Structure formats: C-alpha cells, structure tokens
Structure 1
C-alpha cells in the first residue's frame, strides 16, 4: 500500500489542485476560525407526502452576512445509526462559520436504494429553499458524509443535473454541492464481492445485478463538471478498503477535477471516523478555498 500511495502522489505532483497527504503532516494549513452558534434540533425537512418523516438538526453560526452551509449525512451501512453520530462534526463546522443541517434518512431493507439518495436530495432542496431565511449563500452549500453517508453525498453530487434516472425526480442542479467532504467512502460498489449490507441495500449480489451496483456507484457517474472533492480514509480500513478513495482520486485527476486526499496512518474504518477531527478541519479549509 505504501508503494501505491507513493505512485499516486508522484503522479499528481505538479498539479496544484491535486494532493495526497498523511497523518504525519506537521504543518496545519486549516486556517480555522471560531464563532458561536445556535442549535435547533429535530426540524422536519421531508415533504408532507414523504413515505417517512425525516428530521435534521440545524446549526446557525453567530455572525452577520451570508454564510456557507453544509449538509451532513451519517454512516451505518445504509441500515442503521443516526444523525447523532455526526454531532461533533456538526459542531466543528458550525464553529468554523458554516450553517449545518445534520440529517437522518430512510434505511434498508425496508427502503432499499435509491430511497436514501432521494432523502439526501430533498435535504439539499430544503437548504436552498431556506437560504434567504437562514442567510445562506446558495452558491456555497456543500456536503459532508462518512461511510454510507459519504457514498450518498458523492452520488448525489455526481448525478446532479445530469438528467439520468437518479437525477429524477428529486435531483437537479440544486442538489449539486459546492464541494464534498467524504470519509471512508464506498465509491465503486462493484469492488465488493459480496456482503449483507450492500446486497440488502441494492437487492442482490454483484453477480446477479451488476448494472444496479454500477448505477449506485459514485465513481461510475463521474463527469468533467463534478464538484471538488476532499477525501479522507484510513489506510488500514478493512471494511471499505482505501483503494476506493485512491482509485476515485485517480479518476478525479484524470478529469482535472479539484480534489485532495488525506490518508490516515494506522486507522481502520471506525478509528478513521472517531479521530477525524483534523481531517474535517482540513476538509472545511478545502471548502473555503473553492472559488
């Protein structure tokens, strides 16, 4: 793996918008700011006729003027966990000046793919609809996710405005984030040879329904106008191997899409999430640098 990371880093050297870093970095270039914020819990963002009422926690930074915003989407294998998992990341983003909507979504197997994608899309629409009220800059609404949540925000970002079946009827250009921060992300589901979580989410094995696996994979929807991405990943992740992020970064580089990769030494899947503070700070700094 060390050789693979070295090859990727060398291949991206010379392009200012592409970089690979590790937890050994000694220079903190996050340019963090600190502000107060107000928090409102359990705001319903789903429409009245939605199959399940969905809620999010809203964080509003305490300063004047238009503010950037982020949508937060938790992990849990598309079947479990809750938005409370992302509370620390929500507070971190709010203290750094971002309006935050930290959401729940529907779970498989009761609601298989693409239900959770639709939930993520309507949450983005809600943020845009509330932009005037919340003093959000509608051109700077980004998205953050971990694990299955990272899969959802990256998939939403790549299909937005492209007119395909996942872009209808809940997508559109409004659901394209200004930038994306994704951690431990399963980005090409065809890389999984099996496993209960992916199979119950998609409705079968990769041998039975390879077209469904490709349809649900963010990497298969990449295009030249995809938004900038910040990826972080544990180098020892055995649940979602680091090759998901490395191969995705190579695909971003081939399309000259602005991105950064932050590899976390000695981290697995869970530990990369638990110790993600610096990764999130670097990701938020990345969002602030996007024009």
Structure 2
C-alpha cells in the first residue's frame, strides 16, 4: 500500500528527529553521565600538518599519521587523542575518522589519526605493534607539539575501537609510553570468542577459535580488564548484527565490576554502520566524557 505524498511527508517529518538526534540509553558507573555534568567548551581553530610517517626505517610497512594542532595558548600543555579507523582490520582509511579528529581538535586536543597494517597479510598482533609504535612516536613529538603525555586518549570505531581498547588494556605489558588515559570506543568487538569463525576474525587471527583459542583470548579486550584499566566511553547500536550489542553491555559490566569508570551510550534503532554514520550525539557525549577525565584537576 502506497502512502499519498502528504502521508510520506508527515511520516518523514515525524521520523527525522529520531533518525538525526536518535534515542539512546546512557548508562554510567558514576552518579550521572559526563554529558549531563559538563557543557561544551569554546571551540578553537586548528592547524593541519602534512601527513608524515610515524614508523621508523625498517618497519615492515611504512605507515603515516595525520596530525591536527589546536590553536591554544602558547604556554599550555594540551591533551591528545590517538584515532584508529575501522574496517574489519583489513580495509578503509583514516579518512573515516577525519571529522571526529577535527571535532576533537576544535575542543583543544592534538589529534593523531593513524593508518595501520592490514590482515590477512599481517595478522595479530601486528596491528597492536603499530599502535604501540604510534604511541612511542607521539611521546617523541610531545615537546614540539606541547602534548601532556599523561593525558592521551584513544578513539576508535569497530575494529579501530578493538585495537584502541586492547592497547589501553595491555599498556602495562607494552610499557609506560603505551598507556592511554581514557578511551572513546564505538561498535567495539570486545570478545572475539563470541564470533562464529567469520572470515574477518579468522583472517585477523590466522585461524579459527578451535585452532587458536589462546590467540583469540589474548586478542579480546574483555580478557584484559582489571582495576587499573583507563576510563572507557562506549557507544553501540542496539540493532547491531555485525558486532552484537552484548559486546558492549558485557564489557561495560566487566569494567564496572572492577570499579573502572565507564559510560555506555546505547543507540536505539541503529545497526553497526548507522551507529557510525549517525554518531554525532554519541561523539558529543564521548567528548564530554574525555573532557571530564582529562581536563578535571
């Protein structure tokens, strides 16, 4: 049955606020979500540097970072954000994170938006090695870019969120320079053992769950949660069938059980891709969370 034109117009008008602003359930381990306790700060301008390699000579593949430097007072150290794109560990580019990087730069963050090596040519933990190298490089540039190395956040979506969270939770083993102060992660695959031996995960690990159970456990962020984990802001679509929502709810519960500050922003009527495409309200809530974690004295 077809609706008349006026019917379609009315339906679109009714649905548009839902699609654009979205409905969400915002859960917090504190008294109230950070977005409710801190308004947006004033935006600043930023400088875009030319892409530059962050890997040393002899690295298996040369990798580049895109850097944005905010226009903040010349004598002030500022927080930074390491951004990692998604794509199933084997496709896409830092272009996907550019708008988020710009939003963070306007809020005073030095942003470092990086490429990493892809599966199946390079398998886990190659991608984690790349991010550890990126963190070393950020520390090397910290004086020139006035980065407070105690206030570096990780930001990612999907497989990028997986790598960022894994970096944050395995930082103790990797060394002090790999430690992140907070994480903003969307569509996070937190437990790789939950996947039914799908191609992307098998090619990332290099085998099935039965063949490489230890690697699957090692590559699952939820298995590394402990009381020293950095604060996490998680956003996830309730209709996500690629990375089901229990990846987020279980991970939030694991952080909460360890006394780690965590917020979970569940996007209603969103799948895996629409959660990223229609992410603005989640990102604003996530940046408010980062602001509270990294700017409060």
**What interval of TM-score do these two structures reach, taking the shorter chain for normalisation?**
0.7 to 0.9
CA deviation digits over 1:249-287, x for unaligned, max 9? 000000000111111111111111111122112111111
Q: Judge conservation of contact 2:38–2:292 (CA < 8 Å) in 1.
A: no
Please name the residue that 1:239 is paired with. Answer: 242
Please name the residue that 1:43 is paired with. Answer: 52
Q: Judge conservation of contact 2:153–2:180 (CA < 8 Å) in 1.
A: yes
Shift of 1:206: 1.2
Q: Distance in 1 between matches of 2:243 and 2:93?
A: 20
Q: Distance in 2 between matches of 1:32 and 1:260?
A: 20
Structure-2 change in CA distance of 1:30 and 1:202 (3 Å): farther
Structure-2 change in CA distance of 1:102 and 1:194 (3 Å): same
Q: Judge conservation of contact 2:49–2:68 (CA < 8 Å) in 1.
A: yes
Please name the residue that 2:233 is paired with. Answer: 230
- TM-score calculated relative to the size of structure 1: 0.88
Please name the residue that 2:113 is paired with. Answer: 102
Gaps of 5+ in 1: 164-170
Please name the residue that 1:188 is paired with. Answer: 191
1:79 to 68, 71, 90: 90
Shift of 1:28: 9.0
Q: Distance in 2 between matches of 1:105 and 1:273?
A: 20
> 2:49 aligns to what SS in structure 1?
strand
CA deviation digits over 1:110-140, x for unaligned, max 9? 1111111111111111111111100111110
Q: Distance in 2 between matches of 1:194 and 1:28?
A: 42
Q: Judge conservation of contact 1:60–1:99 (CA < 8 Å) in 2.
A: yes
The correspondence of residues 105-184 of structure 1 with structure 2, limited to 5 A, is: 105-161=116-172, 163=173, 171-184=174-187
CA deviation digits over 1:83-113, x for unaligned, max 9? 0111111111101110000000000011111
Structure-2 change in CA distance of 1:223 and 1:272 (3 Å): same
Please name the residue that 1:167 is paired with. Answer: none
Structure-2 change in CA distance of 1:17 and 1:227 (3 Å): farther
Shift of 1:30: 4.6
Please name the residue that 1:62 is paired with. Answer: 71
Q: Distance in 1 between matches of 2:206 and 2:102?
A: 36
- TM-score calculated relative to the size of structure 2: 0.86
2:30 to 3, 16, 22: 16
Q: Which runs of at least 4 in structure 1 moved beyond 3 Å after TM superposition?
A: 27-30
Aligned residues: 269
Q: Judge conservation of contact 2:78–2:148 (CA < 8 Å) in 1.
A: yes
Please name the residue that 2:14 is paired with. Answer: none
> 1:121 aligns to what SS in structure 2?
helix
> 1:260 aligns to what SS in structure 2?
strand
**RMSD value, Cα:** 2.0
